[in-house]
Structure 1
Amino acid sequence: MILRPALSALAALLIGAAPPQVQPAPPRPQVATPAPAPVPLFRVEVVARYPHDASAFTQGLVWHDGSLFESTGKEGRSEVRHVALADGRVLMRRTIPAAQFGEGLARYGKTLVSLTWKDGIAYRWDATSLKPMGTRRYPGEGWGLATLGDTLVLSDGTPALRFLDPETLAERRRVSVTLRGKPIDQLNELEVVDGQVFANIWQTDYIVAIDPKDGHVTRIIDAGALTREVAARDPDAVLNGIAWDARHKRLFLTGKLWPTLFEVKLVPVQ
């Protein structure tokens, strides 16, 4: 698993273990409170494998009308793409200005909306032709983006999920994402799956499912089997890319610079 030491406490929280302590804290009087309910843990089981462009620094992934749309990052290499599932071929692409770092992607109606990391600029694209359809500004950083009903959901690396007007990108509300009462940050790529917001935790093998009403984590998904299979040597080649085919109930996962896109099913861990 590609995991920086600074994230070890986060990973321990995700899998329910106690994080390492440098020095034991002095005992304090304890107030009896109900123990938090356990969060179900799932693993991924591969259903199918498809080719994926190993040079794509995947930031966002969307299933729409029988194929995939993908946004890629890095200055000078950021694009929005229409991609064939069967062979990974790029059917159409549009570039983002070279000085900008492309981020998350979502579909709303007949358009696609893509983010930029630090520029606060969102691009709107025609979902059929990828023709540019204008820009909007939003405050702060842009990481992941997904569509929930008549709202766009944006992550920015903090524990917050922002719920935005899809036309103006004005913020309607926000929630803080928590796991057993503790905030979870590094929320990156987003996708809505059966009403839950799935969020990739950057630089880990984990995806969390989030209740959009209050932000609490409802389940944890360990996708480590995929990163072990890919066995990437580049430390930037981490899990990132979630797409949901709602009609056929198919879940697709990939990563930055991965040569494979996986169709998976979720299996409870006993």
Structure 2
Amino acid sequence: MNFIKFFIPLAIATLFLACEGDLKPKQLFEIEFAGKTNEFRNLDSVAVSIKNKKGKTIDNVSYSIDGKKLQIQDDKLSLDVTRLGLKELKAVIEYEGNTAEITKKIKILSATAPEIYTYEIINEYPHDLNAFTQGLEFHNDTLYESTGSGGNAKSFIRKIDFKTGKILQQKDLAKNYFGEGITILNNKLYQLTWRSGIGFVYRLQDFKELNSFQYGESKEGWGLCNDGKMIYKSDGTEKIWLLDPETLTEISHIEIVTNKSIFNKANELEYVDGKIYANVWQKESMMIIDAESGAIVGVINMAGLKNKVKKHKNLDVLNGVAYNPTRGTFFVTGKNWDKLFEIKIKKK
């Protein structure tokens, strides 16, 4: 009987300790913010605490995002991240000789609102009215264009004398592919297709197909540009993917944000001096995106251009942006537009 009296409490205590030891970190602790919000702006100082669910003795807490340790002082966390958007805040908690890691999803937006820009038309050039423009890019003062299958036309890539509109070279895609954005790097032309999950790589000089590649996490192909080292790819979501130009694998991504929300309408892309200029899908506007952080630093009101082109039944939206480094100007057009506009962008 004495043995039973001793054994039962011991078993209960052992079971209790075992259960305590099996508790997962999120059952012990939780990250909490003042105001119960999870949306902040970069460089905010945020009141943060650890909810101690089991009364553990906490010795130290450190916080990080994307592997970067964040500064904390007087229970205020300094949010200072390189890439904005949806993030995972990690807390490492040292307690009673143990270490626990917990996370919390938060949204970090831009610290500042976008600046407003407008445009000035420098020149107008002829553009193929039947070209359902999806990609536009300059290389050595020659214009390259990619189209989708608008109306009865096939998708194609072509090389153009931009001053006359004369087609210098063209390659049609198979009928089952809807062509999308292009970019040129290392004497290769890269082209996306829309929903086929495949892109193509061509030799620039003669459009000979060198390779094809499958998309990774991104499901669609919209726009392409490059910074001389990496390729950037939009897919209709809030993400712009960074692709290795050799393997075409999606290495990482940035997320497009303003100071108020995450944005998901980047279409055709052009990279200039650390910024990505992007057509806004279905809108007469472009956005200027910081290529490192994803912040929309500027919005360009492009209203009025569509009124200057020929009206017809297949006329569609503004799409296509290319920077000519020799002239220091941008060239824009639209789907089935009969004009190509050379413009300068300026603050409003």
TM bucket by the smaller chain? 0.7 to 0.9
Q: How far apart are the structure 2 equivalents of 1:181 and 1:167?
A: 36
Instruction: Kindly indicate whether the alpha-carbon contact (under 8 Å) linking 1:39 and 1:217 is maintained by their aligned counterparts in 2.
Output: yes
Q: Which runs of 5+ in 2 are unaligned?
A: 1-34, 45-109
- Partners of 1:234 and 1:147 lie apart in 2 by 34
- SS in structure 1 at match of 2:206: coil
Find the counterpart in structure 2 of residue 97 from structure 1: 174
Identify which of 115, 129, 136 aligns with 1:54: 129
Percent identity between matched residues is 34
Q: Is the 8 A contact 1:44 1:225 kept in 2?
A: no
What does 1:259-270 align with in structure 2 at a 5 Å threshold?
259-269=338-348
Give the aligned length: 242
1:189 maps to 2:268: yes
Question: Cα 1:153–1:236, aligned 2, differ >3 Å: closer, same or farther?
Answer: farther
Cα gap change, 1:167/1:68 in structure 2, threshold over 3 Å: closer, same or farther?
same
Q: Are positions 1:117 and 2:194 aligned together? A: yes
Q: CA deviation at 1:73?
A: 0.3
Aligned amino acid, residue 135 of structure 2: G
Change (3 A) 1:236 1:50: closer
Q: Secondary structure at the match of 1:225?
A: coil
SS at match of 2:305: helix
Other-structure match for 2:104: none
Aligned twin of 1:150 = 229
- How many Å apart are 1:80 and its aligned residue? 0.5
Compare the two structures and name the one with the higher strand fraction. Answer: 2
Mapped partners of 1:179, 1:168: distance in 2: 31
2-structure distance, mates of 1:222, 1:148: 25
Aligned equivalents of 2:311 and 2:296: distance in 1? 29
How far apart are residue 248 of structure 1 and its match? Answer: 2.7
Q: How does 1:35-114 map to 2 (within 5 A)?
A: 37-74=112-149, 77-114=154-191
Query: Are the aligned partners of 2:332 and 2:342 in contact in 1 as well (CA < 8 Å)?
Result: yes
TM-score by length of 2: 0.65
1:164 to 232, 240, 243: 243
Counterpart amino acid of 1:84?
D
Separation in 2, partners of 1:181, 1:102 = 33
Inter-CA distance 241–258: structure 2 relative to 1 (3 Å threshold): same
SS of equivalent residue, structure 2 residue 341: strand
| Secondary structure class of the residue paired with 2:323 | strand
TM-score, with normalisation over the residues of structure 1? 0.84
Of 203, 210, 213, the residue aligned with 1:136 is 213
| Structure 1 unaligned spans of 5+ | 1-27
Q: Choose which of 178, 189, 208 in structure 1 pairs with 2:257.
A: 178
Deviations 1:135-183 (A, max 9, x none): 1111310000001231110000111000000121111110110112311
CA distance in structure 2 between the aligned counterparts of 1:228 and 1:29, rounded to whole angstroms: 48
